[in-house]
Amino acid sequence: MAKPYWFCAMQSEYDALLQNNTWTLTSLPSNANLVGCKWVFKRKFKANGTPQRYKARLVAKGFHQREGHNFSDTFSLVIKQTTICIVLTIALSSRWPIHQIDVNNVFLYGELDFLVYMQQPPGFSSTDLSQVCCLHKVIYGLKQAPQSWFQKLSTNFFQMGFLPSRSDTSLFTRFNSSDTLFILIYVDDILVTGSSSILVQDFIHQLNFHFALKNLGHLHYFLGVEVTWCANDSIHLSQSKYIHDLLRRTNMLHAKPQPTPMISSLRLIVDGSTSVEDPTFFRSIVGALQYVTITCPEISFPINRVCQYMHQPQLSQWKVVKRILCFLAGTSSHGLHSSPTFSITRFSDSAWATDLDDHKYTTGCCIFVGHNLISWVSKKQKVVSQSSTKAEYRSVAAALADVIWIQSLLHELHITLPTPILYCDNLSVVQLVANPIMHSHSKHFELDLHFARDHILAKSHFHSLTIPISSCKHLNQAYL
């Protein structure tokens, strides 16, 4: 509070709370549960790393709450990464404007269903220190804060004619005879795109009557992802600032770049070396690297590997993390390129029995809409596969489930695409999917895995299951 710029930020936050009638001072009932509070300070930066403003937030200590006493359900409004990529692809293909807006003090708009008593804000207490704040509005830190904000926002959207998507409830759509508008919500960060600039501006102006907004203009920096507009109405998504901050945090800003994020022949085990000195720091860095996979899918597999040793990290796993950081040091400006295009293609593969500890396999899948990579995953399965065929078959089933979900989302957005193609490099899986033959090598397969074969044979979602020619050189063409 001795720093003028921080005190100014605190005063601004405190005034906003009073203006919003967030609480009234009262005596604490004898049987009430008192929730503490604290100030949280943060410096906001622009995409280029220069300071933007100082921000102070009064946050309730939600861990003091008791379920059923002063809160019940919790929910956070978070848009899926795949949904963002799909909507961006639609907007680029249709040459729609894409704007971003930020809602000031979003949680203060929520209404409380429970009586919550909170301590007075540190540094802004009244003369009677025995009094407490009886909250009328939701405040940051309360467990029900995100859900209350979602209810408030969705109610206003319903009144404006929007409907939530069944595939992703954080996506709101409005279709008229000639106009279309899509709204993507990530708590208080909102993306708006529609069939005309006038339509988008009218929506922002109308929403500003209900909430205090900051119109950030055309999409340029969203959730730590830098958006660069290129020629031919395409965009480049990267996280160079986030990566540089991570390298600075690990003292590897000037590390020698590596050509790959992981040595392909490396096999990690649980007890391969001595334990790291600071396991908490290891977990923090690996968790931060998981967010980098939003624009760097090439590190998904090594991140998946090191995440399996978070409970007892060792030096061998920390060396893999450092190699990932060295790889990012040379590719910090790399990212995803999205261009106007449409058609779904899916690739699936698996590494069978490569884990030396439990012999479970890792499945990998990626989905392209045209040339745009919109979804990918590298995941260790929960069961042991008795053959490579079963491992690949499970990957195909997981891939098909994702494609069906994407098709459902596109159908809600009134987008019709050609029949998707699923690529798989295992001939046994292709034969098993294409022909309803059960023999000794596949009788142990779970019945839920055969929904892939049922869909393909019924041609309800796929016209063909395709083997890439590069993986089966003995076949000129294989469409089943």
Q: How high is the pLDDT of residue 454?
A: 64
pLDDT per residue as tens digits for the range 216-249 = 889 988 888 899 988 888 899 999 999 999 999 9
User: Picking from 10-19, 116-125, 335-344, which range would have the lowest pLDDT averaged per residue?
Assistant: 335-344
Identify whether the C-beta of residue 393 lies closer than 8 Å to the C-beta of residue 436: no
Confidence of residue 456 (pLDDT cuts 50, 70, 90): low
pLDDT at 314: 87
pLDDT, average across residues 53-74: 85
CA gap 299, 239 in Å, rounded:
14
Express as a percent the part of the chain with pLDDT over 90. Answer: 28
Provide the token pair at 289.
Answer: 């690297």
Rg (CA), the chain: 26
Q: How far apart are CA 78 and CA 187, in angstroms?
A: 6
pLDDT at 128 (0 to 100): 81
Looking at the chain, the whole-number percentage of residues with pLDDT higher than 70 is 85
Q: What is the pLDDT of residue 289?
A: 93
Alpha helices (runs of H) in 133-193, residue ranges in sequence order: 145-159
**First vs last Cα of the chain: how many Å apart?**
70
- Can you list the domains of the chain with their CATH numbers? 4-222 (no CATH), 238-330 (no CATH), 341-466 (3.30.420.10)
Residue 124 — φ and ψ, nearest 5°?
-130, 35
Interatomic CA distance for residues 460 and 448, integer angstroms: 17
pLDDT digits (tens, 9 = 90+) for 126-154: 778 889 999 988 888 898 888 888 888 88
Averaged pLDDT for residues 395-423? 84
Query: What is the predicted pLDDT for the residue at 356?
Result: 54
Which SS3 state, helix, strand or coil, does residue 283 take? helix
pLDDT confidence band for 16 (50 / 70 / 90) = confident
Mean pLDDT along residues 360-371: 79
DSSP string, 408-424: HHHHHTT---PPPEEE-
Contact 193, 96 (CB under 8 A): yes
